[in-house]
Amino acid sequence: MIRLSGILGLTALTSAALLPQKPLVSTPDSEIITSQSSTPLPLVVWHGLGDNYKADGLRSVGDLANAVNPGTHTYYVRLDSDPSSDRTATFLGNLTEQVEKVCHDLSTHPVLSRSPAINAIGFSQGGQFLRAYIERCNNPPVHTLVTFGSQHNGISEFQNCGKSDWVCQAWDGYLKRNTWSNFVQSRLVPAQYFRDPEDMDGYLENSNFLADVNNERESKNATYRDNLQRLGKFVMYMFSEDTTVVPKESAWFAEYNKTSEEVTWLKDREIYSEDWLGLKWLDEKGRLEFRVAEGGHMQLSEELLKDMFRRYLGANATSSDRI
């Protein structure tokens, strides 16, 4: 069993400024091009909350990718070269700035920037962040995006605190009272993908990240839809026993009503029927997949990962389903 971090926690805040969201790099209208060679496309991995790019568990994923698909070059997204600071950045920072940094890092990387396309895996919150990378810049373009337990439709609850964890409880109380403040929305990472279906006005008006990348505001960003439609495959894994992410169905873009306890699945939502992000288009082309990973949040078996690498990220997989 490979265990990766992907917790939803609380800590002190930093001082990044709230920035407007817009595509960072204009992308061509031409469809994605993938390698014709027998070498797999480079792989980009974005870790989850509380993890860092040099963590042993994360590195073991890259080792396994290369064992299954020899020749796989793996790049681990980092927001700071210091592992401790990179971990801190999973809790604290402005997501607009963080995505912008990753856009720059990937577009100037000596290997990735020369590849016709890349594959990408996002663990927990890293999944929606990689989707934001695709929507806002996508240079180099992503061919296959695989996400595990990601919060594509946000979270409606922050992490539960222990009864004796007074510090956590203090921050939790502050967050619940100030979720939509500019101070919190520009500094606390999980708050920037918080989404309460019972307070959509507050969310749409104040969300620094998720409302934008999900194209939920009245003015739609066509570039976001166009860039996602360039994907050769978008695969979303939901953990069957996930109690860390609330709701767990967010991994599939589903919406959960806390009062009625009813789940509205993606295909029954406007984001799909009106195709705000191109998900319906991908689905109709056979490029959108919903999969289940048995177990709790970020409990990944080697068998599951091997199957995923063979099925979606091998040289044959990324060449046989070229757009």
Catalytic residue status for 242: yes
Residue indicated by tokens 């064992």: 67
Which residue of the set 51, 212, 242, 275 is catalytic? 242
Q: Is 109 a catalytic residue?
A: no
Selecting among 47, 143, 152, 297, the annotated active-site residue is 297
Of residues 5, 115, 124, 186, which has the active-site annotation?
Answer: 124
Q: How far apart are CA 222 and CA 276, in angstroms?
A: 8
Catalytic residue at 38? Answer: no
| Sheet strand arrangement including 142-148 | 74-76, 43-46, 118-123, 142-148, 233-239, 288-293
Task: List active site positions.
Answer: 124, 242, 297
